[in-house]
Amino acid sequence: MPLTHSYRMLAHTGIRSAVLLALGLLLVAWPGPATAREEGHAREEGRARKVEGDRHEQEKPEKLAFDMVVAAGAQRCLPNAAGHVSIQAAGQNQRMQVKVEGLPPHRVFTLFVLQVPTGPFGLSWYQGDIETDEEGEGSRDFLGIFSSETFVIAQAVRPAPQTHPGVDALTNPDTAPVHMYHLGMWFSDPGDAVAAGCSNGTTPFDGDHVAGIQVLNTSNFPDTAGPLGQFE
């Protein structure tokens, strides 16, 4: 049956509408020049961030080494004393090895993590002991946090244990995070310092708070930029 004029017009209109609809959808889906540029910039920024992140990861030292120097009060009596420290990653922690030399033989020394390397001292943490051998040398490994994340914090003033009444503080100081990047080492016994020809001064840097003078420290680094902060 021949198509009527009205039917042909309706068919043409339907085809034209379908074509226009398809073109409209194509234009909506196709990004314009501005959108394409924005997406290009976003991709470039993403690549740049990845490169920067990779570079930062590569810059993190897998191992850090530095020296400790003779403390001012021990330079006359222990001029050859020296300390050598190495730090390396150990899982989520760090392993710190401290080697010392030029010290009196068969003596015990206390090692502290410090806020500042010389007196008057800020916050200090008793890390452990190092005992020398017959050659006046000693070595000890410590496992913990020895990096840019080493810090102390106290969110409130609270009662403190009285292990040594009359010596221990009754409460702690209230403090925001304080990072501690230095090391220091003391004679554990004031008598050992005297026997080595050093001053007989008494300091609290031992478990019983009766120690000798400081022997080694990291004063070869600035007060606010101690060596532990170099390890991330």
Identify which of 178, 175, 172 has the alpha carbon closest to the alpha carbon of residue 157: 172
Task: Give the residue, 62 or 192, on which the prediction is more confident.
Answer: 192
**pLDDT in the model for residue 7:** 47
**pLDDT in the model for residue 25:** 46
Q: Kindly tell me if the per-residue pLDDT of 122 is higher than 80.
A: yes
Digit-coded pLDDT (tens) for 146-175: 999 999 999 999 999 999 999 999 999 999
**pLDDT in the model for residue 62:** 82
Tokens of 109: 């020394």
First CA to last CA across the chain, in angstroms?
A: 87
Task: Give the residue, 37 or 202, on which the prediction is more confident.
Answer: 202
Q: Where along the chain do its domains lie?
A: 5-59, 63-230
Class of domain 63-230: mainly beta
**pLDDT in the model for residue 49:** 62
Q: Is 160 helix (H, G, I), strand (E, B) or coil?
A: coil
Digit-coded pLDDT (tens) for 183-231: 999 999 999 999 999 999 999 999 999 999 999 999 999 999 999 999 9
Per DSSP, the residues of 100-134 read EESS-TT-EEEEEEESSSSSSP-SEEEEEEEE--T
Q: Kindly tell me if the per-residue pLDDT of 46 is higher than 70.
A: no
